[in-house]
Amino acid sequence: MFRVTQRTMYSNMTNQMNSNLSAYMDSQMQGSTMKKVNKPSDDPAGMARILKYRNTIDRAVQMEQNSDAALGWLQLADSTLSKTVSSTITEIKTLAEQAATGTYTAEQRNIIGDNIRQQLETLLNAANNRYEDKTIFGGQNYNDSAFEMGLGVTATSWGKDGVEATQPNPPFQVSGNLTKSIKIRFPSEDDKTANESADLKVGTIFEWYDFSSTAKEEKDRWMTGTVRSGENESLVLEVGNANTGKATLTLPAIVDRGTNSEPMVPGQFRHQQTLKIKEYAEDVTKKEDDATYLYVRPAVIYQGDDNNALTRVDQLGMQVNEYATVVDGNGTTKQVTAQIKTKSPSNIQIQVTGVDSTTNTMTFSYSVDNGKTWVQDNTAEITNTTAHLDLPNGGYVDIAGADQLAADDFISVRNVEAEVSGRFSDNIQIKFPKDADIVTNNLDFAYSVDNGKTWIEHNTAKIESNKNARLILPGGYVDITAADMIKAGNQMVLRPQRTDVSFTVLEGQTITVNNVGKDIFGGLYTDEYGTTLNAMYDQDDDQSKLNWEQRSPNTFEVIGRLIGYCETNNQNGIQRALEALDVSQKKVLSYATDIGGKENRLESTLTMLGDKKYNDEARVSSMEDIDVTELMINLIQRQTAYQTVLQSSSMIMQLNLAQYL
Amino acid sequence: MSSLNSLMNIGNSALSSTQTAIHTTGNNIANMNTVGYSRQNVLFEDRYAQCGIPGTLGQGVNVQGIYRNFNRFLENSYLDRFSQQNRWSEQNNILETVEAVFNEANSDGINNAMNNFFNGWNTLVTNDLDASRIDLLSNAQQLSSVITNSAQSLKDMQHEMESYIAQSVDEINELIENIKDLNKQISMHSGAGENPNQLLDARDIKVRDLASLIDIDVIQREGDFTILTKSGHTLVQGADSSFSLKVGGDRIEKHLKNPNDPKSYKGTIEISGSSSHEYLFEIVTPPATGKNGTMRVSLDGGKSWVKDDAGKILEVEIPEQPSTQNNPFPIYLNDTNITVSFTNGDPTTLVQGDRFEAITKTSVYWVDPTREPLNVTPMVMGDGTDNTNRLTGGKLSAYFNVKDATIGSYLERLDALSKSLTWEVNSLHSIGSNKTMTEVMGTYKAGYADKPLGKNTSGLDFYNRLTEGNLSFQIYKNGKTASDDGVLVDQPVFSQIQFDPQKDSLQDIAQQITACYTDQNYTYLTASVTADNRLSLKAAEGYSFIVADDTSGLLAALGINTFFTGSTASDLAVNDIIAQDTDRINRGKVQPYGNNTEGDHSVASNMWDLSTKQVKISTPWETRKDQTLSDYYGSTVSLVGTDKRTAQFNTDYNTTLAEDLDAQCSAISGVNIDEEMINLIKYQHSYTAAAKLITTADEMMQTLLSLKQ
């Protein structure tokens, strides 16, 4: 039997009351917050899970918002393409059909040209459409307009490097403003020898048609101009006057771009471009194709960014330009060290024609274009067994061990170069953990798609007999020349041009919401080297230019030419453009279909997200929310317990022997 | 033969004894609620009997003594439990406050702020507006402030614990003094027949008070009353005792392997920074001339050693040169904020096995005047158990455990979280671009301009995150308007800034950058090292630059083009450059050709994905690579909850046991009114009976005297 003392009794009663009351208050707290987990210690593991679910739900909400935003972008693009753009093209087609009718006069075609100009404005506005103030057809360059109105040049019968061109746009850059299209021709000097092929050069006389002229005679409306030289060895043609507006046609010099991995310093290695033209002679030239006509007409120029720009490859840690292989007259190979002190050209072939040990000189010829052309009879001095070979533009090659060279030695100075194919969404880093294995012809590499944080290792590329190797990467591949020269620790970074605005709509799934406008509408654009290019043209099968022009899917260019032909009264041209309009409309609609498909995908994504969120919310609720029935029962139980303690305590407290004495 | 006188005497003895008993009973009733009072009983004995005819006659009753009802064994068991109960309930109370810092159940805390921060990036992906940038900035500032506030609250609690510790140690020393005095008085009054009950009770109360503060063992042998700590350190021994506890701060102890060797290390080590751990350093490879040595580190007195990220025992480099004021050579330990330097001696005289103990936190020492103070600070080992060579019970242990093991580990986790957050965000941000820069200064300092950045001697916060890699910039010739980035300048020299963390110093890298962007006529980008060892980049007049790529983490580690500054939970903040100009928030990366495009959002989407990415997070105890930042924080919250739960459970458990033992003690020592009532009646009756005896004897005397008449 246990001896019960007052102290024990009272402290026990106090403790019991306290513990019952605190349990009661816990239930009351749960009731007030409607949660069973009110602090981490209520359910430590559950708390962590609740937080995790809350994060998941938070992300799902974000993805819902992303999907909504994506849907907004896509719906706008869809309606723009399938409604505005398509119907406008249809209208232009109707107008072109009229203009193509043989009975129409120049004046009537002119009026139609004006109409089409207005329709082109509508198309331009559609192509510049913005969602939340961002251009939807401009790639990632979405703060500026995707397209701008400008001038372009179409030509008939022109050539390049002696070959007749297979596309109507000669590489002119046009600036200025014309109220109407202008035609340019090149008169034959003696006015007799027609169809004469000549080079376009400084001093070449040309004639442009002044449509504002009031001269009675047709031939008096042709104004004369002279080709002059412009900046950086370019050729310039100026046309127009105060009434017609003025335009400047610039034929830029060709810039040797060096290689992908090693761009040239601008201004270096620039040479004048040659254009072949057919001269015009009054009596001989009958047909449009008989002479070169330049049509300066409206063009839409793409301002956004594009994804066919090259992926830039930064080669890091490669001691470039220092590998040289010598093959002597007997075909034996030996290695010497060469140091090139200029950036370009990167691959140099040197043919030693003689070594004179008395004068310490060496004669050689070299080629910087892989042996196509050779620069003969050069002399290099040999100082302390190093030959110093001068190259144009201040560059030079130093070859160590030149005293061992003999006539007929063929030196090939090679550089590691990389060429990339494929589309990459982000930068890729490549590193080479060990030297290229020239025995097994294997090249080990590792790559990283998260900026070097984690590496995918143990990949092997085969070094081919031409010393090239192809590294397969997610999204494409890189071809490396002189792969046998790779040393351990070399790195490369592929930096692709990116155009996609893409939102994450499901974990690990993104959707691209914008488009590269030039892939849909065409137009002209300027590449990363500043060259004006036709945004798209079919290069397949038959390359006869007329056929090509009829098949062009480049909507803006087709319409630009159409306007040019209308305003210069060229019925054949109008017909060609009319056929091409069908092709370009199909192109636009096929993009609309693609976008529609994305919209459908998004709709189902939204449903999925909603379901997932609902599920997760239900799970969190089951973890953290109180079951009200259970709570009520608990409350009643605890109330009862508390009451019991109070009651029994009060009864015991009243009892005392003293009362009975 | 009986005499009437003796009959009177018997009555007299009975009267006075009973009166004593009633007095004692009364005293018991009076002290019913006195804390520490032990019920007293009167022990009666019959007086010596007289031998005679017709037989032995009793001579009445004597009060042998007044004893208190007390069971030493039960009391000692209770004291053990009482210590634990006090420790856990105190711990439980404090953790309730700590838990509030991490309470994410009904309020918005770090988890929510972190989500808002990441979601802010996603908003910037879909809505490229100024408003989104401002929103993101305020989310980031909120995140950094909620983390720093949490860290500050935890630190405040640690400070509070320190004041409690000081108070408790004072109390303990006073109690030791009191008990010593009581021992003296008790031994004076413990003569024959003397029972200094009040003094004994008083001493037991003091002992209980002492047990509430620390864990003790009480040994009572003969007259000796000894109190020891559970780990065996004497606190009180009889009446003369000069033992005490003492609060101490930083302390370094040198344990050389060959202390008597005249060639052994003469210097000492210095440690700076504060931490919740006690460090033990052991030389693994002694430094030699021209070659650095290594040492390993233990946080639990050599039971286990700190590991590196790869799970191997971390070996920290020791420089061969001695540290001086101008040349402190701090050693940064794996993700902690402690620096160590070897001073006043030649490090090359160190030998393998030399050990140094270093404490940079408040500790408690046991002071025996004849010996060196001994560290008895409560300590939790790597496996979570208490170090039994130290104090383990009472409130004092609670304060230490909460301060060092519990709050200390939460702070470490918050620090680790901030560090990883900062690193991950900065390394994504540092390779992005939004606007060209003309001049930028790194936010992180290195200790030295000429030491390899990737070594623990570099003095760089993020030294151990650097990897071998490379970086490049794009240079622009300035445009005419402010919004125009200008024209991309082709790299004058083939870009190849290569970084090897084990070899390259800040100076090396600055030289490489400058050399890389210099051609025959111009230096486009100049990198220099500032006086306080930060990297500064400056574009030439009329030019500006953008970070194109960095695979080494160097820019993030140096704080160039970064988002956050700081590296702990206490100094996490948004980079001033960004706070002042939200256009410095990098949404995307630069395009390989041409200008920055505004539509690229790769940095922003990667940031958002960071919320689900598994990252490396490491504290001095462990390195995890399989958790997201949110998961890690979630597990921290869960840890806090578990700790609170454990404390709650232990409180309940020990309270129940202690209460039970107290009830048992009380069953022996406590006063029961009913019982005392019975005694009162009993003794009252005895008293009446004794009085009746005297009356009877008197009557007998009268009868006898009347015979004469």
- pLDDT value, residue A346: 55
How many secondary structure helices (H) and strands (E) does chain B include? 13, 27
Separation of alpha carbons A352 and A338, rounded Å: 14
Separation of alpha carbons B28 and B673, rounded Å: 9
| Predicted confidence (pLDDT) per residue in A445-469, tens digit | 999 888 777 888 888 888 887 778 8
Separation of alpha carbons B610 and A66, rounded Å: 17
Please tell me the distance in Å from A334's CA to the nearest CA on chain B: 28
Selected for mutation to probe chain B from A11, A33, A47, A503 (highest B CB count within 10 Å) is A47
Q: Which spans in A80-154 are helix H?
A: 86-100, 106-127
Q: Do B634 and A37 touch (CB under 8 A)?
A: no
- pLDDT value, residue A244: 86
Of the candidates B102, B126, B553, the beta carbon closest to that of A40 is on B102
Q: Is A495 on the interface with B (CB under 8 A)?
A: yes
Please tell me the distance in Å from B635's CA to the nearest CA on chain A: 6
Of the candidates B99, B609, B670, the beta carbon closest to that of A7 is on B670
Nearest to A12 by CA among B669, B660, B83: B660
Separation of alpha carbons B444 and B659, rounded Å: 57
Separation of alpha carbons B616 and B625, rounded Å: 4
Of the candidates A44, A50, A450, the beta carbon closest to that of B642 is on A44
Tell the burial category of A380 from Cβ atoms under 10 Å away from its Cβ (0-12, 13-18, 19+).
buried
Nearest to B218 by CA among B403, B324, B72: B72
Q: Is A504 on the interface with B (CB under 8 A)?
A: yes
How many other C-beta atoms are found inside a 10 Å radius of the C-beta of residue A169?
Answer: 22
Secondary structure (3-state) at B499: strand
Position of tokens 């031939």? A219
B95 vs A contacts (CB less than 8 Å): 41
Separation of alpha carbons B79 and B602, rounded Å: 65
Nearest to B155 by CA among B416, B403, B363: B403
Using CA coordinates, name the residue in chain A closest to B636. Answer: A48
Q: Crossing angle for the helix pair A571-624 and A44-79, nearest 10 degrees?
A: 160
Q: Do A62 and B33 touch (CB under 8 A)?
A: no
Position of tokens 């799934």? A509
- Inter-residue contact B475 to B539 (CB < 8 Å): yes
Q: Is A475 on the interface with B (CB under 8 A)?
A: no
Nearest to A609 by CA among A505, A521, A463: A505
Query: φ, ψ for residue B538 (rounded to 5)?
Result: -140, 130
Secondary structure (3-state) at A276: strand
Q: B608: which DSSP letter? A: H
Nearest to B4 by CA among B700, B688, B687: B700
Selected for mutation to probe chain B from A3, A41, A133 (highest B CB count within 10 Å) is A41
How many other C-beta atoms are found inside a 10 Å radius of the C-beta of residue B684?
Answer: 14
Residue-wise DSSP of B360-426: -S-EEEEE-TTS--EE----B-TTS-B-TTS--SHHHHHHHIIIIIIIHHHHHHHHHHHHHHHHHHH
Please tell me the distance in Å from A471's CA to the nearest CA on chain B: 20
Q: Do B599 and A139 touch (CB under 8 A)?
A: yes
Mean pLDDT score of chain B, rounded to an integer?
Answer: 86
Q: Do A452 and B552 touch (CB under 8 A)?
A: yes
Q: What's the predicted TM-score (pTM) here?
A: 0.84
Sign of CA dihedral A157, A159, A165, A168: negative
Q: Is A35 on the interface with B (CB under 8 A)?
A: yes
Query: φ, ψ for residue A168 (rounded to 5)?
Result: -75, -15
* Torsion (CA) A532, A538, A544, A550 in degrees, nearest 10: -100
Q: Do A2 and B631 touch (CB under 8 A)?
A: no
Q: Is A457 on the interface with B (CB under 8 A)?
A: no
Residue B589: C-alpha distances to residues A473, B553, B599 (Å)? 21, 16, 10
For the record, the structure tokens of A8 come out as 């024990």
Query: φ, ψ for residue B22 (rounded to 5)?
Result: -65, -40
Position of tokens 């509070």? B160
- pLDDT value, residue A278: 82
CA B162 to chain centre: 10
- Inter-residue contact B137 to B630 (CB < 8 Å): no
Q: Percent of chain B scored above 90 by pLDDT?
A: 39
How many other C-beta atoms are found inside a 10 Å radius of the C-beta of residue B124?
Answer: 24
Using CA coordinates, name the residue in chain B closest to A493. Answer: B549
Of the candidates A35, A314, A656, the beta carbon closest to that of B106 is on A35
End-to-end CA distance of chain B: 26
Q: Looking at this protein, which amino acid is placed at residue A43?
A: D
Nearest to B3 by CA among B46, B62, B60: B60
Please tell me the distance in Å from B142's CA to the nearest CA on chain A: 18
- pLDDT value, residue A267: 42
Q: A56: which DSSP letter? A: H
For the record, the structure tokens of B476 come out as 């622009």
Q: Of how many residues is chain B composed?
A: 709
For the record, the structure tokens of A498 come out as 């990116």
- pLDDT value, residue A265: 44
**Which residues, in sequence order, are bridge partners of residue A312?**
A495
Separation of alpha carbons A469 and A480, rounded Å: 5
> Which chain A residues in 248-267 lie under 8 Å from chain B, judged by CB atoms?
262-266
- Inter-residue contact B533 to B447 (CB < 8 Å): yes
A495 vs B contacts (CB less than 8 Å): 548-549, 592
A312 vs B contacts (CB less than 8 Å): 592-593
- pLDDT value, residue A130: 92
> Which chain A residues in 308-337 lie under 8 Å from chain B, judged by CB atoms?
309-312, 314-318, 320
Of the candidates B589, B662, B672, the beta carbon closest to that of A4 is on B672
Separation of alpha carbons A658 and B681, rounded Å: 11
Give chain A's residues under pLDDT 50.
Answer: 258-268, 317-323, 342-345, 538-541
Helix (H) or strand (E) holding A328: none
Q: Is A52 on the interface with B (CB under 8 A)?
A: yes
Per-10-residue mean pLDDT of chain B, 709 residues long, equals 80 91 93 89 86 81 88 92 94 92 82 93 89 94 94 93 94 93 88 80 93 93 86 87 85 84 82 78 86 84 78 79 59 63 80 86 89 87 82 93 90 90 93 87 87 81 84 74 51 61 90 80 86 91 84 91 91 92 88 69 90 85 80 91 92 91 88 90 93 91 85
Q: Do A40 and B644 touch (CB under 8 A)?
A: yes
Residue-wise DSSP of B322-347: PB-SS----EE-TTS--EEEEESS-G
Nearest to B391 by CA among B406, B404, B403, B377: B377
Secondary structure (3-state) at A370: coil
Q: Do A44 and B639 touch (CB under 8 A)?
A: yes
Strands A456-462 and B216-221, by their bridges, are unpaired
Query: φ, ψ for residue A305 (rounded to 5)?
Result: -105, 165
For the record, the structure tokens of A128 come out as 């510049």
- Give the angle B121-B126-B128 at the CA atoms, nearest 5°: 80
Please tell me the distance in Å from B577's CA to the nearest CA on chain A: 24
Q: A311: which DSSP letter? A: P
Helix (H) or strand (E) holding A265: none
